[in-house]
Amino acid sequence: MDFGEKSKEEEKALAKTAREKYASDLDNQVREQARVQEKLRVDNEKRYDLGTSRNQLPPPTGNVWKEMRAAQTEIVKAKANAYQDALDNQIEDLRRIRATPLTSRRLLVASVSELKLRAVRDAFTPMDDVVGVDAASGVDSQPIGLDETFAGARGRLDAALRSELARKASVVIAIESGIVQVGGAYVDMSVVLAKDVKGGREATATSAGVQIPSSYIDQWRNSEKWATVGEVIAAEVNCNKVDPHQYLTQKHFERATLITEAVRVACSTLWSKNERFL
């Protein structure tokens, strides 16, 4: 994928169109939320009407009726809260989009991993161009220690900067994950390197570490069957080998989500206030 060349007028027009479409989609979702809530209200009134109509069945005896109504109320509240949370997140995205300059940024990721590309896309706005390039890390498939993990990120960054796509990129971002020992525990964490191609500035950040049980580390060390610790975990519990973080955190955190936050931190320190990252 090539970035292509766009004039400033074309970039402004595309940005304006993207903002208008996003705002329109958001308005439609707000209307849909109101329609769904009204339908739930009407349906519940019909379902739980205790009037004297001869077509209605009498309520059950004991506490069954009361408990059923309470359970239904909790279900409706849970659905409404989940919908509201999603809506709030989209409103925040829209505010961020409207606060950004009209020109889009061109971001090159030193990887073709869909997980890493998605993590970087989530850190920026929909108007920004994000592409990947195959860039070797120069370290083992499973880096051990912070130094080797950082070296892997550096190797990917240098390889990406040598590519043709780097000439048209605003920023090049490299990501490398590794196992780091903290005291007597092991955590999986990612090192993120971001470089401003034009200005030459560079920033480093790390993701939050997710603890890996030492039994998995021991299995990986004592066998040549698995290239990474993630493969060991996947073989035992049938999880995603490139994202065992969901299993290890009881589905609270995806690996991509943790990387996204690290990319945000790196780029927030890379640019000055006048350049506005978010």
Provide the residue-wise pLDDT of the chain in tens; the chain has 278 residues: 445 555 677 777 777 787 778 778 877 887 887 787 778 777 766 654 545 454 555 555 556 666 667 777 777 777 778 878 888 887 777 776 666 555 568 899 999 999 999 999 999 887 788 999 999 999 999 999 999 999 999 999 999 999 999 988 999 999 999 999 999 899 999 999 999 998 899 999 999 999 999 999 999 999 888 899 999 999 999 999 999 999 999 999 999 999 999 999 999 888 754 455 54
**How does DSSP assign 226-250, residue by residue?**
-SSHHHHHHHHH---TT-THHHHTT
DSSP summary character for residue 193: E
Same domain, 134 and 95: no
Same domain, 139 and 255: yes
Same domain, 95 and 134: no
Q: What is the pLDDT of residues 61-81, one digit of tens each?
A: 556 666 667 777 777 777 778
CB 209 within 8 A of CB 182: yes
45: domain range?
A: 8-99
Domain stop point among 48, 79, 99: 99
Question: Distance between CA atoms of 48 and 64, rounded to whole angstroms?
Answer: 13
Same domain, 141 and 239: yes
1 inside domain? no
189 inside domain? yes
Write the CB contacts of 3 (distance below 8 Å, at least 6 apart in sequence). Answer: 106, 129, 131, 165, 168, 169
Same domain, 239 and 153: yes
Same domain, 131 and 225: yes
Task: Give the CATH number for residue 176.
Answer: 3.90.950.10
Write the CB contacts of 241 (distance below 8 Å, at least 6 apart in sequence). Answer: 228, 230, 231, 233, 234
Buried b (16+ CB within 10 A) or exposed e, 227-261: ebbbbbbbeeeebebbbbbbbbbeeebbbbbbbbb
Same domain, 252 and 153: yes
88 inside domain? yes
2 inside domain? no
In the chain, the number of structural domains is 2
Domain stop point among 52, 83, 99: 99
146 inside domain? yes
Q: What is the pLDDT of residues 164-207, one digit of tens each?
A: 999 889 999 999 999 999 998 999 999 999 999 988 999 999 99
| H/E stretch holding 25 | helix 8-47
